[in-house]
Chains A and B, each alone.
Chain A
Amino acid sequence: MTVPQPTQEDLNERAAIDRSARYPVMFFFTSAAIWLLFATVTGFVSSLKLRYPELWDACPFMGYGRLFPVHYNALVYGWAMQAGIGVMLWLMARLTRSRIQSPAALIVAGHLWNAGVILAVVAIWFGAGRSLLLLDFPGWMWPIFAASYAITVVWVIPMFLGRRNALFYISELYLIGAAVWFPWIFLTANLLINKGSAPVMGAGTNAWYVSNLIYFWMAPISLAVAYYIIPKISGRPIYSYPLAQASFWVLAVLAGWTGLSRFMGGPFPAWMPAVSGAATIFILLAILATVANLMLTLKGCTKLWEYSPSLRFTVLGMLMLAVYAVLSALSSTFVFGKSLQFTHFVAGLDTLAFYGFFSMTMFGAFYFIVPRITGAEWPSGARIRSHFWFSTYGILTMVISMLVGGIAQGSDLAQWDRSFSISFVNSNAYMMGRVLAWALITWSNFYFLYQLALMFIGKGRKSAGPTLIHAEPGEVPSARAAVGIH
């Protein structure tokens, strides 16, 4: 089956949509990228501090207990969410064939969001943090994020309703889901935790929030990207549309139940961690079906992976999502969970979600979207290649150190008749791996940020053909044609 070629009228319309998206989307993208740099550097420094606790021990700002939440909040609210919001706006505009109506309001919302992230990071750094993963900022700060998100996402709904495209894409389903779910979980978590009247359920709500942020925001946005980019670049329709829909609804029904398995054996009614664990295991089916569906779409044209940066990053992101789902399901069972709980394994899984699968897919989306909205091509394919390989090795190092280190730490913790500090000493080598991983990731992002900055200031390559990772475009006409489909 071949996809009909777009007419000149279609191309003009797309260009008009891209122009309308240019300023707000680039605003979200570039501020996300700056936060990414900050988050990877603090990730590196906090890992170093964990490995060498005696470093800078007279300085209040360099403690792991402050650096880690600073790093994590910058990574998630600064980078991941802003990248996701930018992608959501552009993708929704393109899929519904609507122009972005109010770029100014979006840019105001973007400033508000960044102000929120700056305030949160400063508050945590200066000792007003709450030690609640991803809800570390002081209790009065949530309305800033809520207001900014409301101003941003409210435009997605009229775009959707005023659609000029008769086709309904699976990506839109995921985008609408993410748009609606995030405020719901964010408000619930903040209001309940600020109420502070049920201490243990407060901690449970926090764990539920983190897990829902992954399954109800990070996963849907990256799946929306994958369901868009993979068919677009391969020029083929989704392998199975019914399967895609069914997996969406499985995720929608089950993801709200996840999260409490983080505290199995904790002071909760036993059914809560059990239900959460079961939900995580069933979600594995949905995620594996989705990833298989996407890979089958690509079947027979895997060679495109060689050339297209968007496809390469997206496919890598999807493979990581599958790995994340498998490992989460394993650690949600008592058999594995009881020795992995509270270890580096769990922390590594969180990083695999927030940095691993989500960021990789976002890079894929950036490589696709930025040339279209700025009207220039990426300056250098070789730098994209470096970005790809350093990211890949960085994340692999991270995940392997954290997961294997977590298993080792878990077995040390279980040896109750030996000194506790053995679990720390034995994990030193793995923590060195974590330091190295953040160094690689930071390095990889320099390639990315440098190129993005060039695109931002209008120093992109002016060319009719897209920038490919490997060969000169002229040498591979088939791939060029495929990648060049707008």
Chain B
Amino acid sequence: MNSTNFWKLLGALGLAFALPWLLLVVLPYLDQSNASPTLYGEGEEVEGGLLAYPDRNLQRHGASDYGREIYAAEGCAYCHTQVIRPTYAGADMWRVGWGGREEAGLARETQPGDYANEGVAPLGYQRIGQDLSNLGHRITSREEMHRHLFDPKSFDTDSGMPAFKHLYRPAATGEGYAPTPKAEALVDYLLSLKKDQPLPKSVLSGN
């Protein structure tokens, strides 16, 4: 094989790869980068007077931006997913509380806009622990969330979750433990996990 053939070979390899590279990755990525919130249409009354989906403030809670980094650094996503799949692809919607507030008729599968505050959506690698898409609706008390991190087995003796004791320090009073700023931020982030904002009709119909 001479050098002309070599460049031909490189060209062919490049061409074979450029197509999926552009169509599957780069263009959809840039397309999603440009996505802007969708306004609710005429006559669509949404609780809280929200104007558009996604509403980024709904998914924000205290120091949740820092808490997200703790979530990533502790590798939470290796055991916890944040994806609610449609019923054709799994039983996620059937688990109580996973898809959102069922009692308000708001449970649904997750949509791209639900991750608007993330840099990269923590969809998760495995589902060894529960799905956390709507954890902020299932656990609303700070206290309880801390207890889940500090001593998960106090809720469910069969729980496979490790205790994150290194995020807590002995309290100054000498009794019990106090959360570090990292633990507080992580709890803020976990409380912010809500992915059931009602979708505008135009999003539902795909326009």
Contact = CB atoms under 8 A, between A and B. Distances in A.
Interface of A: 49-50, 53-54, 57-60, 63-66, 68-69, 127-133, 160-161, 163, 168, 173, 176-177, 180-181, 184, 188, 192-193, 195-206, 208, 216, 249, 252-253, 256-257, 260, 263-269, 272, 275-276, 279, 334, 337-339, 341-344, 346-347, 413-417, 419-422, 424-425
Interface residues of B, number: 73
Given A202-B119, A342-B124, A197 B89 contact: no
B16 interface: yes
B16 A198 contact: no
B25 A188 contact: yes
A366 B160 CA distance: 40
B195 to A, nearest CB: 9
B28 A199 contact: no
Contacts of B156: 419, 421
A60 B116 CA distance: 30
Contacts of B109: 265, 267
Contacts of A69: 75, 78
A221 to B, nearest CB: 15
A198 B83 contact: no
Given A131-B78, A266-B85, 12 more contacts: A63-B162, A65-B77, A199-B116, A202-B119, A204-B29, A256-B17, A256-B24, A257-B24, A265-B85, A272-B28, A338-B85, A343-B127
A413 to B, nearest CB: 6
Given A206-B120, A265-B88, A267-B114, A343 B126 contact: yes
Nearest to A163: B1
B32 A200 contact: yes
A337 B88 CA distance: 11
A198 B128 contact: no
- Most chain A CB within 10 A, of B83, B86, B89, is at B89
Interface string B70-105: 011111111101010110111100110000000000
Contacts of A413: 90-91, 127
A168 B8 CA distance: 15
22 contacts: A57-B162, A63-B74, A69-B75, A128-B73, A130-B73, A161-B3, A161-B6, A180-B10, A184-B17, A184-B21, A198-B35, A199-B112, A199-B116, A200-B112, A200-B115, A201-B32, A201-B33, A202-B29, A205-B25, A253-B16, A257-B20, A267-B109
Interface of B: 1, 3, 6, 9-10, 12-14, 16-17, 19-21, 24-26, 28-33, 35, 71-79, 81, 83, 85-86, 88-91, 94-95, 109-112, 114-116, 118-130, 153, 156, 158-166
A131 B115 contact: no
A127 B73 contact: yes
Contact of A53 (B1, B17, B91, B160): B160
Contacts of A275: 24
B119 A199 contact: yes
A37 B149 CA distance: 32
B26 A188 contact: yes
A389 B90 CA distance: 39
Contacts of B79: 64-65
Nearest to B85: A265
B37 to A, nearest CB: 14
Contacts of A129: 72-73, 75
Contacts of A422: 158
B11 to A, nearest CB: 11
A344 B30 CA distance: 32
Contacts of A276: 24
A339 B78 CA distance: 18
B167 to A, nearest CB: 8
B76 A65 contact: yes
Contacts of B29: 192, 198, 201-202, 204-205
A269 B76 CA distance: 26
A192 B30 CA distance: 9
Contacts of B1: 163, 168
Given A57-B162, A334-B89, A263 B123 contact: yes
B83 A263 contact: yes
Contact of A347 (B85, B91, B112, B126): B126
A339 B34 CA distance: 34
B13 A181 contact: yes
B96 to A, nearest CB: 8
A59 B74 CA distance: 12
A131 B158 contact: no
A59, A160, A200, A249 — most chain B CB neighbours (10 Å): A200
A433 to B, nearest CB: 15
